[in-house]
Chains A and B, each alone.
Chain A
Amino acid sequence: MKQPLTLAGIAAGALVVLLILGSVVAVALRAERGAGLGAADWAALRFTLWQAALSAVFSVALAIPVARALARRRFRGRGLLITLLGAPFILPVIVAVLGLIMVFGRAGLLNDGLAALGLPAVSIYGAWGVLLAHVFFNLPLATRMILQGWVDIPAERFRLAAALGMGPAAQFRLIELPMLARVVPGAALVVFLICTTSFAVALTLGGGPRATTIELAIYQAFRFDFDLGRAALLALLQLGVTLAAALVALRVAAPEAMGAGLDRPVQRWGLPGPVVDTLAITLATLFLVLPMVALAARGLPHLANMPPEVWAAAWRSVVVALGSAVLTIALALPLAVAVGRLRPRAARGLEVAGMLGIAASPLVIGTGLFIVSYPFIAPDRLALPVTALVNAVMALPFALRLLVPAVARVESDYGRLAASLGLSGFAWLRLVLLPRITRPLGFATGLAAALSMGDLGVVALFADAEAATLPLQMYRLMGAYRMQDAAAAALLLLALSLAAFWIFDRGGRADADA
C-alpha cells in the first residue's frame, strides 16, 4: 500500500496549519488588552495589497521578455546566469537593500553615471523604490516560472509552426500566448503573496509612514504597544489575504515546476534578430548582478579580518540551513504525494495548507511558539531548532510548487506499472519516486537551504549570546558601527547561500537519467 505516504502528507499539512494557526491563537489568548483594528491598520492593509499587486504586475511583465530570451537563445554562461537568477531571492533583505542603494541610491552608480552625462539625479525612495526592490527580489523567480512554461512547450509545436511558415508574431499569438495565459496569473500571484509580508523593504525604500505594511503594523503592535490581541488580529488578516489569493492561484492553474530542464533552450526556427533578446538578457543581468557585485566589492577586502565569531555564526547558519532543508523536504514530499492521491477538493485544501507559510508573519509564529514552549523549556535552548522549523514552513510553499507537479508526473507515468507490480510504500519511494524527481528535489532542497541561510527570522526573538546565526551576527556588526565587517559578513552570507543552492541544485542534476 502507498497509504503511509498519504497519511504522512496529511499529517504534514496538519502540522503546518497547527503551527501557523496555533501560534496566532496562542498570541491571541495571551493578549491583555485589545484596541482592535484602527484606521491606521486598514490603511496598512490597503498599502500592503496595493504595493504587492503592483510589484507582481511589474515583476511578471518584465520577466516575460527575459524568460522568452532565455528560452530561445543559447549562449555561453546561460546555465550560470540561470543559477545566479536565484540569488536576489535568497538574499537577506537588509543586504539586498544596501546592494540596491549602492547602484540606484543618491550616491550610487546610476546617479554617478547620470551626473557624468549631465542628467538630473533619480531618487530610489518612495513608491518606485519599493517596486524596484520587489522587482529585484522577484523578477528572477517570475522569470524562472515563466521560463518553465516556455521549456514545457513541446518542440514539435515550433517545428510544426516552422513547417507552416508561421512568422514570429503568429507563433507568439498561437503558441506562446496561450502558454502565458496559463502560466502568468500563477506566477503573478506567487509574487503577490511574497510581497504581502514585506516590511523592511517597503519601509526603508518607501520613504516614511505612508509605506506601512501589515507586517510593520504587527511589529508595532508587539513591540511598541504590546497589544498582542491586535497583533493576532493583524496576523489573521494577513492569513486571510493569503488564503484568498492562494485559492485563486490554485484555480488559475499555478505554474508548473521551475526546476526541470531549464538548461535546455527551446529549439526554434525562423527567429527574429537577436537585438531584443540580447537587450532583455543584458539589462536583466545588469539589474540583478550589479548590486551583488557592489556588495561583493565592498565586503571582499574585509573578509580576512572578520571577527572569529562571524565564522562560528556562519557554521551555525549552515547547520540550521541544512536542518531546515531536510525538514522542508520531509514536509513537502509526503504533502506532494498526498495532494496527488486525494480527491480534488481535499487535495486543494491540503495544498493551501502547505502554502500558508508564504504569508505567515514570522514574528507571530515566533511569539506564538515562544508562548507555547515557554512553560516547558527555556526558549533560548530552542532558538536554532525553532529557527529551522519556521524557516522550513516558510520555504514549504516553494518546495511544494516544485514537487507537486513532479510527483504527479511520476504517478501518471509509472503509477499503473508500479501498481501492477505491487511496488508500494517505501519501495515505491526508494525505487521510483525519489530517483525520478532528483532534479526538482535538488532544486527545492537548495532553495530551502538558501532561504533559511539568509533569513533573520525568529532567531532574534529567541537567541542568546551563543546562538547567533550569520544574518543576526551581521546585524549585530551593523548595530556596532562595524559596517565594513558587516559588509564582509554579508558577502560570506551571499556566498554560502549561493553555494548551498548550487550544490543541491547540481546534485539533483548529476544523477538524472533520461
Chain B
Amino acid sequence: MLTLERLRLTREDFALDADLAIPQGARVAILGPSGAGKSTLLAAIGGFLSPRSGRILWDGKDITGAEPAARPVATIFQDNNLFPHLTALRNVALGLDPTGRLSATTRDRALAALRDVGLDGFADRKPGALSGGQQSRVTLARAMLQDKPILLLDEPFSALGPAMKAEMIDLVLRVAEERGLTVLMISHDPADALRLGGLSLVVADGVAHPPRPTTELMDDPPPALRDYLAR
C-alpha cells in the first residue's frame, strides 16, 4: 500500500494536496488538465520534491525523506531517460549497478532484460541509433532490473504513435503482472487509462483525488474531469 498522508506540495505559485492510498499491485492512470500538478505528484513520490507537509508511506514505512534511489520506486521520465553516450546495454546495466561496472552477471542479466523487451541484438547500439519505441523498451528493461515494487511513468510514451503506445502499455502491463508491480502512469489520453485498466486518479483544482475504477470514472466523470474530457 502506497499512502499519501495529508500531503501538501508547493511550487512557487502553486499548491497540491493529496490524501489518498493506492493498494499494492494497483495500476493507476493519473489524469487531469495540463498544469494541474500530475508531474509534481510523481516527483514527490519519486523523491525529487520535498513536500511542504504530510508523509509518504510504503507498507507503513515512512519514505518521505528518503533519497530517490533509496525509495521502492523506479521512474520513467518524459524525456532524457537514457544517457545518449552509453550503449543500450550499459544504460540497462545501470539499473543493477549504478557504479557503471559491467560484471559478467550484470551483463548477462542486462542482456536477458533486453531480450525480454524484444531488443535482442540491439545491446551495442547507442540511443541515437534506436527508434523512439526501442528507446522506451530499453528504459523499461532497466526499470525491470531496478527491481522496485513501484513503477512511475511520467508520460513516457506520448511521442509514440497510437499503435506503438498501445504496444508499450501492454508491455508495461505484462511486466507489472509478472512482478506484481504497482504502476502509476500519467496520461493525457483516456484511451491509455482504459487500456491500463484498473484505477484512475484525477488531479485538478489543487487536489489529487483518491483513485477510482477507471471505467466507473469514465461513465460518470466528476466535473473537473468532464471539462477536461470535453464531455
Complex-state Cα separation, A3 to B87, whole angstroms: 27
Contact indicator B77/A421 (Cβ below 8 Å): no
Known pairs A431-B86, A432-B83, A514-B128; A423 contacts B68 (CB<8 A): no
Q: Which of A255-314 contact B (CB under 8 A)?
A: none
Classify the interface of chain A: helix, strand, loop or mixed.
helix
Contact indicator A421/B98 (Cβ below 8 Å): yes
Check if A208 is an interface residue, CB within 8 A of chain B. no
- CB of A174, distance to nearest CB on chain B (Å): 26
Contact indicator A427/B77 (Cβ below 8 Å): no
Check if A204 is an interface residue, CB within 8 A of chain B. no
State which size class the interface on B falls in.
20 to 34
Known pairs A421-B94, A423-B94, A431-B100; A416 contacts B75 (CB<8 A): yes
Contact indicator A422/B69 (Cβ below 8 Å): yes
Q: Which of B79-122 contact A (CB under 8 A)?
A: 80-81, 83-86, 94-95, 98-100
Check if B214 is an interface residue, CB within 8 A of chain A. no
Chain A's closest residue to B74 (CB) is A420
Q: Which of A416-456 contact B (CB under 8 A)?
A: 416-417, 419-424, 427, 430-432, 435-436
B68 contacts across to A, CB distance below 8 A: 416, 419-420, 422
Contact indicator B83/A414 (Cβ below 8 Å): yes
A436 contacts across to B, CB distance below 8 A: 83, 85
Q: Which of A62-99 contact B (CB under 8 A)?
A: none
Q: Which of A394-413 contact B (CB under 8 A)?
A: 413
Contact indicator B80/A420 (Cβ below 8 Å): no
Contact indicator B81/A417 (Cβ below 8 Å): yes
Contact indicator B95/A421 (Cβ below 8 Å): yes
Known pairs A431-B86, A513-B126; A414 contacts B80 (CB<8 A): yes
Complex partner residue of A423 from B48, B74, B77, B98, CB under 8 angstroms: B98
- CB of A504, distance to nearest CB on chain B (Å): 19
Contact indicator A431/B69 (Cβ below 8 Å): no
Q: Which of B25-75 contact A (CB under 8 A)?
A: 46-48, 67-70, 73-75
Complex-state Cα separation, A422 to B99, whole angstroms: 9
B74, B75, B85, B128: residue with the most chain A Cβ atoms closer than 10 Å: B85
Complex-state Cα separation, A431 to B126, whole angstroms: 14
Chain B's closest residue to A422 (CB) is B69
Complex-state Cα separation, A416 to B48, whole angstroms: 7
Contact indicator B85/A435 (Cβ below 8 Å): yes
Contact indicator A424/B98 (Cβ below 8 Å): yes
Known pairs A416-B68, A421-B69, A421-B146; A513 contacts B100 (CB<8 A): no
Known pairs A413-B80, A414-B83; A427 contacts B100 (CB<8 A): yes
Complex-state Cα separation, A436 to B83, whole angstroms: 9
Complex partner residue of A513 from B69, B70, B85, CB under 8 angstroms: B85
- CB of B139, distance to nearest CB on chain A (Å): 10
A435 contacts across to B, CB distance below 8 A: 83, 85-86
B126 contacts across to A, CB distance below 8 A: 513
A514 contacts across to B, CB distance below 8 A: 84, 128
Contact indicator A417/B77 (Cβ below 8 Å): yes
Known pairs A414-B80, A417-B81; A422 contacts B128 (CB<8 A): no
- CB of A513, distance to nearest CB on chain B (Å): 5
Q: How many residues of A contact B (CB 8 A)?
A: 18
- CB of A442, distance to nearest CB on chain B (Å): 15
- CB of A157, distance to nearest CB on chain B (Å): 20
Complex-state Cα separation, A230 to B147, whole angstroms: 67
B98 contacts across to A, CB distance below 8 A: 421-424, 427
Contact indicator B83/A420 (Cβ below 8 Å): no
B128 contacts across to A, CB distance below 8 A: 513-514
B75 contacts across to A, CB distance below 8 A: 416, 420
Complex-state Cα separation, A513 to B128, whole angstroms: 9
Q: Which of A362-421 contact B (CB under 8 A)?
A: 413-414, 416-417, 419-421
Chain B's closest residue to A430 (CB) is B100
- CB of B85, distance to nearest CB on chain A (Å): 4
Chain B's closest residue to A431 (CB) is B100
A513 contacts across to B, CB distance below 8 A: 84-85, 126, 128
B73 contacts across to A, CB distance below 8 A: 420
Complex-state Cα separation, A423 to B83, whole angstroms: 12
Contact indicator B95/A419 (Cβ below 8 Å): no
Contact indicator B48/A419 (Cβ below 8 Å): yes
- CB of B115, distance to nearest CB on chain A (Å): 21
Complex-state Cα separation, A427 to B69, whole angstroms: 14
Contact indicator A419/B85 (Cβ below 8 Å): no
Complex-state Cα separation, A40 to B199, whole angstroms: 80
A431 contacts across to B, CB distance below 8 A: 83, 86, 94, 100
Complex-state Cα separation, A36 to B94, whole angstroms: 63
Chain A's closest residue to B99 (CB) is A427
- CB of B58, distance to nearest CB on chain A (Å): 15
Complex-state Cα separation, A423 to B47, whole angstroms: 14
Complex-state Cα separation, A427 to B90, whole angstroms: 13
- CB of B79, distance to nearest CB on chain A (Å): 8
B80 contacts across to A, CB distance below 8 A: 413-414, 416-417
Complex-state Cα separation, A416 to B69, whole angstroms: 10
Chain B's closest residue to A425 (CB) is B99
A423 contacts across to B, CB distance below 8 A: 69, 94, 98, 100
Complex-state Cα separation, A419 to B48, whole angstroms: 8
Complex-state Cα separation, A291 to B167, whole angstroms: 65
B68, B73, B74, B86: residue with the most chain A Cβ atoms closer than 10 Å: B68
Complex-state Cα separation, A310 to B7, whole angstroms: 72
Contact indicator A419/B77 (Cβ below 8 Å): no
Complex-state Cα separation, A482 to B85, whole angstroms: 52
B74 contacts across to A, CB distance below 8 A: 420
Chain A's closest residue to B67 (CB) is A419
Complex-state Cα separation, A112 to B89, whole angstroms: 66
Complex-state Cα separation, A419 to B46, whole angstroms: 10
Known pairs A513-B84, A514-B128; A416 contacts B77 (CB<8 A): yes
B100 contacts across to A, CB distance below 8 A: 423, 427, 430-431
Q: Which of B105-153 contact A (CB under 8 A)?
A: 126, 128, 142, 146
A432 contacts across to B, CB distance below 8 A: 83
Complex-state Cα separation, A513 to B213, whole angstroms: 45
- CB of A200, distance to nearest CB on chain B (Å): 44
Complex-state Cα separation, A513 to B127, whole angstroms: 10
Would you list the 7 A-B pairs with minimal beta carbon distance, nearest first?
A422-B69, A419-B68, A422-B98, A435-B85, A431-B100, A514-B128, A423-B98
Extra contacts, 14 of them, besides A435-B86, A513-B84 (Cβ < 8 A), are: A414-B83, A416-B80, A417-B77, A419-B48, A419-B67, A421-B69, A421-B146, A423-B69, A423-B98, A424-B69, A427-B99, A435-B85, A513-B128, A514-B84
Q: Supply 9 A–B pairs (Cβ within 8 Å), ascending by A.
A: A413-B80, A416-B48, A419-B67, A420-B75, A421-B146, A430-B100, A435-B85, A436-B85, A513-B128
